[in-house]
Amino acid sequence: MSVVGFDLGNESCVVAVARQRGIDVVLNDESKRETPALVCFGDKHRFLGTAGAATSMMNPKNTISQIKRLIGRPFSDPELQQDLKALPFSVTEGPDGFPLINARYLGETKSFTPTQVMGMVFSNMKTIAEKNLNAAVVDCCIGVPIYFTDLQRRAVMDAATIAGLHPLRLMHETTATALAYGIYKIDLPENEQLNVAFIDIGHASMQVCSEAQCPLVQYITRELLTCLIMEHVMRFASPE
């Protein structure tokens, strides 16, 4: 069996496998190719993916999302402190100087590291892959942003290990995009130079890669624009 690929985004995640002479993005239980990258903690159960998204509106303080922003970053990171302002759940500093996510689960307040929560997301993705392949999934390749530090990359690998996966490689998301382009683009010129720019616009970051240079604009994103519009509207909101 081929190695499974996981694309873990800030908002959603995707599982892909190599089969039928191509790359097949597998469907989840709701017949969708994208699965919400979140965990919703309840009084009796833990809800992952689509099930968690369905209950998130009723339980926002215990719905943990946007883990990609938290993992592998010290609590004192100025960018992390800015990100925390937009999160509805509680995040505090742990004894090691890294974030701890606090949520009500099984009737009591519990604390989880971002790595542990991402491990839960990976376990859901692993289940989706196994249902589609009818086989156990262990070996995998995971896409990560080009701006991830070594600490963040190691935290992602630890999260995959928690889920029972064996990450063979972490691949830059722009590299994965270039690889997909090369696989399906069959009319590439043989004798002429062709310059191609790969642009990845995600929920929390935008990455641009052209030739050997890979600059990034990390915060000009859909979510940032939404927050800026909301702040602008709030300036004109009448006090109750």
Q: Which of 7, 34, 83, 223 is catalytic?
A: 7
126 is catalytic: no
The 8-class DSSP code of residue 131 comes to H
Q: Is the dihedral of CA 143, 148, 149, 155 positive or negative?
A: negative
Q: Which of 34, 83, 126, 200 is catalytic?
A: 200
187 is catalytic: no
Q: Which of 34, 83, 173, 223 is catalytic?
A: 173
Q: Which of 34, 68, 83, 223 is catalytic?
A: 68
Alpha-carbon distances, residue 67 vs 89, 116, 150 (angstroms): 12, 10, 17
130 is catalytic: no
DSSP per residue, 156-187: HHHHHHHTT-EEEEEEEHHHHHHHHHHHH---
What does the alpha-carbon distance between residue 155 and residue 139 come to, in Å, rounded to a whole number?
Answer: 17
158 is catalytic: no
What does the alpha-carbon distance between residue 67 and residue 180 come to, in Å, rounded to a whole number?
Answer: 26
Active-site residue set: 7, 68, 173, 200
